[in-house]
Amino acid sequence: AQTVTRDAHGVVTVGGIDVKTLAERFGTPAYFIDEADFRTRARAWRTAFGPDADVFYAGKAFLSRAVVRWLYEEGLNLDVCSGGELSTALAGGMPADRIAFHGNNKSVEEITKAVEAGVGRIVLDSFQEIVRVAHIASSMGKRQRVQIRVTVGVEAHTHEFIATAHEDQKFGIPLADGQAAEAVRRALQLDGLELIGIHSHIGSQIFDMSGFEVAAHRVVGLLRDIRDEHGVELPEIDLGGGLGIAYTSDDDPREPHEIAKALTEIVSRECEGARLRTPRISVEPGRAIVGPTAFTLYEVGTIKPLQGLRTYVSVDGGMSDNIRTALYDAEYSVCLASRTSDAEPMLVRIVGKHCESGDIVVRDAFLPADLAPGDLIAVPATGAYCRSMASNYNHALRPPVVAVADGDARVIVRRETEDDLLRLDVG
């Protein structure tokens, strides 16, 4: 899916440094993120949507203070969904009014912290939360800007675990049976809340724009009903994130400017039809910005050819640094990174070192038959939901994230140590 650059010796390079040097300096497994690529993608989204819209990077895909600084400098806002992400966003210097706070079960402590910090918006996810946030804001003498997240009832064409707009699930308030309209009614009555808009997120790793079209149609329908009932035109709508990226060459992602054009046109058309002023649009891409910008570098360990089946290639990481293959049947590609080879291709399965057979990083791939222990292999497009979903299973030490730019590499999240693990064990 992704093109790699190689130096004169056939070694893969990133940001002007070859992977052998990187492995020597930082060890493996490790994630290497191309800062220039990240900034270019973030800027492309920002530019595509222009000054009349906002782009909130979804921090759950990958968040660190360095990333927050890059986003700030490129003019993006930030979507967080836990107290931990909020703290990182603030520690990285994102102004609170450029932060949106999400979540289906925000704690009182998290809400209090968000209101106190002055976040730009809290996205309300349930009837109980409408009252809870209003109460907390009022008790601090504040009026919190909020959106209400609705489920529009579309079936996004993606894995069940990452589809979020059908009604039978934990996120949002259904549009069906006037439930969202009732939520709006309640929010408008509460002094602690300033209702600024409606939010919809239909799912993740989506290529087909038709789901967004249906979502926009239904959200604008709700804005029209709100205007008719209350005489107010809510000024904002957020269409969430979810745009797919290329993990393998079968995937054909859309460019930010195409997405911006499509979404802006849909919303304007729908609003014209409903005779509403076009609201300010915001979006929340996570994967589409960070996903393609990083790869994981592993060292090849045991190689086990199984006659007539395939060759199992074990690497020094696995499901603890990339759970996506096991969890979603996600597909990745892999390449030999420390050299080139003219040997015949062999069918391999890249597996980790964890104690279960589902510990697969790349299900099916071809690598040269002369692959040997000590070779470095790279799995591209691991910038999103790999480090952020990494675990300590089998007391694995979570790998570092190294930012590479202009021939310079620096650790932005360090490798865990056994001391880190033992520090938590206080028994």
Q: Which two tokens stand for residue 123?
A: 């996205």
Chain centre to alpha carbon of residue 217: 25
Asked whether position 121 contacts ligand LLP by CB under 6 A, the answer is no
Sequence-ordered list of residues with C-beta below 8 angstroms from that of 424, at least 6 positions apart, any chain? none
Asked whether position 383 contacts ligand LLP by CB under 6 A, the answer is no
DSSP state of 278: P
**Site map (CB under 6 A) of ligand LLP, residues 235-254, x = contact:** -----xxxx-----------
Which among 176, 177, 221 has a CA at the least distance from the CA of 198? 221
Q: Which of 61, 68, 163, 300 binds ligand LLP (CB under 6 A)?
A: 61
Asked whether position 58 contacts ligand LLP by CB under 6 A, the answer is yes
The number of beta carbons lying within 10 Å of the beta carbon of residue 4 is 14
Specify whether the CB–CB gap between 2 and 387 falls below 8 A.
Answer: no
Residue 382, beta-bridge partner list: none
Q: Which of residues 319-378 bind ligand LLP (CB under 6 A)?
A: 324, 328
Q: Which of 172, 279, 286, 399 binds ligand LLP (CB under 6 A)?
A: 286
- For the bound state, the minimum distance from the C-beta of residue 336 to ligand LLP, rounded and expressed in Å, comes to 26
Q: Which of residues 137-176 bind ligand LLP (CB under 6 A)?
A: 162
- For the bound state, the minimum distance from the C-beta of residue 419 to ligand LLP, rounded and expressed in Å, comes to 29
The residue (of 20 and 387) whose beta carbon lies closer to ligand LLP is 387
Per-residue buried b or exposed e for 181-204, using 16+ beta carbons within 10 Å of the residue's own CB: bebbebbeebebbebbbbbbbbbb
Asked whether position 102 contacts ligand LLP by CB under 6 A, the answer is yes
DSSP state of 35: H
Q: Which amino acid is at 394?
A: N
Residue 360, beta-bridge partner list: 351
Is residue 355 annotated as a catalytic residue, yes or no? yes
- For the bound state, the minimum distance from the C-beta of residue 288 to ligand LLP, rounded and expressed in Å, comes to 6
In the set 271, 335, 355, 386, the catalytic residue is 355
CA angle (111, 90, 403) in 5-degree steps: 130
Active-site residues, by number, are: 355
- Which residues of the shown chain bind ligand LLP in the complex (CB under 6 A)? 58, 60-61, 79, 102, 162, 201, 204-205, 240-243, 284-288, 324, 328, 384-385
